[in-house]
Structure 1
Amino acid sequence: MNRRVAVPFPPKRIISLVPSQTELLFDLGLGERVVGVTKFCVHPTKAHKTAAVVGGTKNFDFEKIKTLKPDLILGNKEENYQDGIEQLAAKYPVWLSDISTLDEALDMIRRVGLITGRKEKAIALATEIAASFASLKTALEPISAAYFIWRKPYMIAATSTFIDDLLLRTGFRNVFTNLARYPEVTAEQLTAAAPQQILLSSEPYPFSEKHVAEFQSICPAAQIRIVDGELFSWYGSRLLHSAAYLRSLISAD
């Protein structure tokens, strides 16, 4: 983010405003230092028992955060909201990640390890994740696909997103390369794009088998699949399991 953030070393009272980074902190052995998390920080399950819930990713409880007296707050440019982050940054050390590729995710892991005193463990974790993706064999022929994250309105993950980067690494070709970020699309646009596969993410919208017929009626020739949104979009330590999962999607095709 091109900002200098002064953080006491090592920070002892950490608030995480990003679910995937919360899980990362615990996996780096920092659970006892995490004093605040969001209601969406569901991994590990003990996070909500050992840390206070300070709202959602886009609506912070400023008064509760004040009582927690954090010496480090971890956020993310995309998942959090600018006004809230600016209010917090005026009072506390706020470190923001900005991630749209696997390489940026690995850099984030190493940096979080550095500023929290877990440098070696974070480097080892990033190295293991990188190796798992290096051995990922992509589809023999590119598979055209559309990745849906929301319903009513339909929203997809297009270019310049972390999801798109993982799709490309797996051998999928995003049919909405003409669009950026997370745009709304119509059924007519989906029909015209004619993807071979339509991937319905389990989050943030909870797509399930009951939605398959809806998309099958729009693209009768497409294969409709429910996919694990966490393994496609969580860019912390959960990436340890992503490459194997992505490999299974191709081998099961």
Structure 2
Amino acid sequence: MSTRAVDATGVAHEKVGTGARIVSLVPSITELLFALGLDRQIVGRTGFCVHPRDKVRNVPKVGGTKAVNVEAVRALQPTHLIVNIDENERDTVEQLRTFVPHVVVTHPQTPHDNLSLYALLGAIFGREREASNLADQLEARLHEAATRAFRPQNVLYLIWREPWMTVARDTYISAMLRLVNWQTLPDVQGGTAGAARYPSFEFAGANRAPWLADVERILLSTEPYRFTQAHCEALQRDPRMGGKRIELIDGEMVSWYGARAIEGIAYLMQRAAAA
């Protein structure tokens, strides 16, 4: 009897052998596929799939996470396409579905969801042992974070400027930050009526966000917008930011799920302990 694994949309996938040809449209999952030992079966990736650097350079690019080169994917003749609900455009995925036999949809929303992500890909591609090893490492990190006391802080996590954009509390990023007792503002859930998962706001003017007064720490993420130290210094010079700690944070460590979450939790614990 075949082993089947169920993805984020409820689709069951059968276990495949070494003949699988995988195209990944999700940077963090490309890294996870390599961590599972699937090097020889990864035949395509996006230009944003940059880890592990020494291995992805040998894998052909098929465009970006949203601007996918459909014909480039077709030419690679994949048996499996790995996508994500937040990162990839639904219309593009449906177009690719017409010629890719198996489309595996992912949607981790909390650090704990990585456990089921490991299990899903491990079961489909016959890497159960490697998936179990990653799960053990992640559970150890989660346990360590849960048993340590971190000072509570209200934080603003910036992902974009012009307009300024941040994260709602039902995002993976916000859930990662909660592991170290950092609560993101504004206190909104993106799944509620009229609310966005990545809301925009204003620092100044008539529409200045009122909840900014409660922010203690402003974190400028290095992705998807490439915030730099110069952006931090500009905000630090703004008199309206008085009393707030403003700093860069590694966006990959906070927003990349998959294998990176193990290192990401350790990174956050170190940052919170130094606060």
| Contact persistence 1:10–1:115 (CA under 8 A) | no
Distance 2:134 2:152 in 1: 30
Q: Please say if 1:169 is aligned against 2:179.
A: yes
Distance 1:191 1:103 in 2: 29
Distance 2:63 2:180 in 1: 35
Q: Partner amino acid for 2:243? A: A
Q: Partner amino acid for 2:233? A: A
| Contact persistence 1:138–1:250 (CA under 8 A) | no
Which consecutive segments of 4 or more residues in structure 1 shift more than 6 A? none
| Contact persistence 1:106–1:126 (CA under 8 A) | yes
Aligned residue in 1 for 2:232: 212
User: What do the CA deviations read for 1:93-116 (whole angstroms, capped 9, x no partner)?
Assistant: 110101111121221111111101
Equivalent residue in structure 2 for 1:223, among 245, 256, 271 = 245
Aligned residue in 2 for 1:20: 28
Residue 139 of structure 1 and its aligned partner are, at CA, apart by 4.9
Say what the alpha-carbon RMSD is for the aligned residues.
1.7
| Contact persistence 2:74–2:99 (CA under 8 A) | no
Distance 2:211 2:234 in 1: 13
* Counterpart secondary structure, 2:115: helix
Distance 1:10 1:190 in 2: 55
Distance 1:209 1:59 in 2: 29
Quick one: structure 1 residues 197 and 106, their matched pair in 2 at CA, closer, same or farther if it must change by over 3 Å?
same
Aligned residue in 1 for 2:161: 151
Q: Please say if 1:68 is aligned against 2:76.
A: yes
Quick one: structure 1 residues 167 and 190, their matched pair in 2 at CA, closer, same or farther if it must change by over 3 Å?
farther
Identity over the aligned pairs, expressed in percent?
35
* Counterpart secondary structure, 1:170: coil
- With the length of structure 2 as denominator, give the TM-score of the two structures: 0.87
Aligned residue in 2 for 1:111: 120
Distance 1:8 1:251 in 2: 44
Distance 1:43 1:190 in 2: 39
User: What do the CA deviations read for 1:203-228 (whole angstroms, capped 9, x no partner)?
Assistant: 11111110113333142110001001
Structure 1 unaligned blocks of 5 or more: none
Residue 190 of structure 1 and its aligned partner are, at CA, apart by 6.5
* Counterpart secondary structure, 1:50: coil
Alignment of 1:71-90 (within 5 A): 71-90=79-98
| Contact persistence 2:21–2:43 (CA under 8 A) | yes
Q: Please say if 1:91 is aligned against 2:99.
A: yes
- With the length of structure 1 as denominator, give the TM-score of the two structures: 0.94
Structure 2 unaligned blocks of 5 or more: 1-8, 191-196
Q: Please say if 1:185 is aligned against 2:194.
A: no
Q: Partner amino acid for 1:239? A: A
| Contact persistence 2:22–2:82 (CA under 8 A) | yes
Residue 159 of structure 1 and its aligned partner are, at CA, apart by 1.3
Q: Partner amino acid for 1:185? A: F
Q: Please say if 1:199 is aligned against 2:219.
A: yes
Quick one: structure 1 residues 47 and 206, their matched pair in 2 at CA, closer, same or farther if it must change by over 3 Å?
same
Distance 1:115 1:220 in 2: 52
User: What do the CA deviations read for 1:14-37 (whole angstroms, capped 9, x no partner)?
Assistant: 101000000111111111110000
Distance 1:208 1:182 in 2: 20
Distance 1:23 1:134 in 2: 23
Which has the higher mean CA deviation after the structures are superposed, 58-67 or 174-183? 174-183
